[in-house]
Copies of this chain bind each other. A is one copy, B any other.
Amino acid sequence: MFEICLENVRRNMPLIHNITNYVTVNDVANVLLACGASPIMSDDKEEVEEITSICKGLNINIGTLNHRTIPSMLLAGKKANELSHPVVLDPVGAGASSLRTETALRLIREIRFDVIRGNISEIKSLALGRGSTKGVDADMADAVTEENLSRGIDFVKGFALDTGCIIAVTGKIDLVTDGKTCYVIRNGRQEMGKVTGTGCQLSGMTAAYVAANPENKLAAAAAAVSAMGLAGEIAWTHMEKSEGNAAYRNRIIDAIYHMDGKTLAEGARYEVR
């Protein structure tokens, strides 16, 4: 299934509209090209509706959000909803400031997202902000581990049902769920955390995968998550002794560039719960 999802991206070459932060934007553009999609970045409120109309999917990322771009996010998201284009939210830093948490919550209220992808802290901030604290124990550590996996799955499923979105929580173990089915994915390497923007890249890729697989959005989102993790594993095998996180950044994108369906099918490590 992941195999087909990947191949559909290469076949359909979806154009993805990104309203994203200026820190990792270049890597998001290059990873979209690497996976077979095409990127366009645009954030002025006068053009975002028109730009998103010519695209197949929209990726909204609130890293370096500001008062000029927040209205653009809302306009683009609503237009994408109107056109039934898939929309992904990356709530970067939700919980780190009221502006980020409130903006993410407002986006979720006003836009219908197909996927929300973040780390567990960001997702918990949103769940708590919505008052949907069910499953969020005060003692639940921020990382999803083998030990607290069941509770993590319950929590993420609950948030998926509450919002009506696919939720993708990435970390040591990744969880991707629509509230009923949960993919538990064990690809990736911890060294990916030393590369800025692997999460942002994944959100862009998720928009491409979902756009190219409209009939299988959950599997597509899970495939994107697994592909990114697997790229981190493959890239690591190519690292030379003197190389560090800058080389790793490039090698991860390069691994996405070379990944075909068969590689993903063989390398994906997940269970469905």
Question: Do A42 and B68 have beta carbons less than 8 Å apart?
Answer: no
In the assembled complex, A98 has its CB within 8 A of some CB on chain B: yes
In the assembled complex, A115 has its CB within 8 A of some CB on chain B: no
Q: Which of A145-153, A156-164, A173-181, A243-251 contacts B (4 or more CB under 8 A)?
A: A243-251
User: Which residue of chain B is the closest to A194 with respect to CB atoms?
Assistant: B33
Question: Do A93 and B245 have beta carbons less than 8 Å apart?
Answer: no
Which of B23, B43, B197, B246 interacts with A249 by CB under 8 Å?
A: B246
User: Which residue of chain B is the closest to A15 with respect to CB atoms?
Assistant: B96
Interface residues of A in 5-34 (CB under 8 A from B): 21-27, 29-30, 33-34
The copy count of this chain in the complex is 3
| Contact bitstring A29-56, B, C-beta under 8 A = 1, else 0 | 1100110000111111011001100100
In the assembled complex, A218 has its CB within 8 A of some CB on chain B: no
Residues of B within 8 A of A99 (CB): 44, 46-47, 50
A positions within 8 Å CB-CB of B: 21-27, 29-30, 33-34, 39-44, 46-47, 50-51, 54, 63-68, 93, 96-100, 194-197, 238, 242-247, 249-258
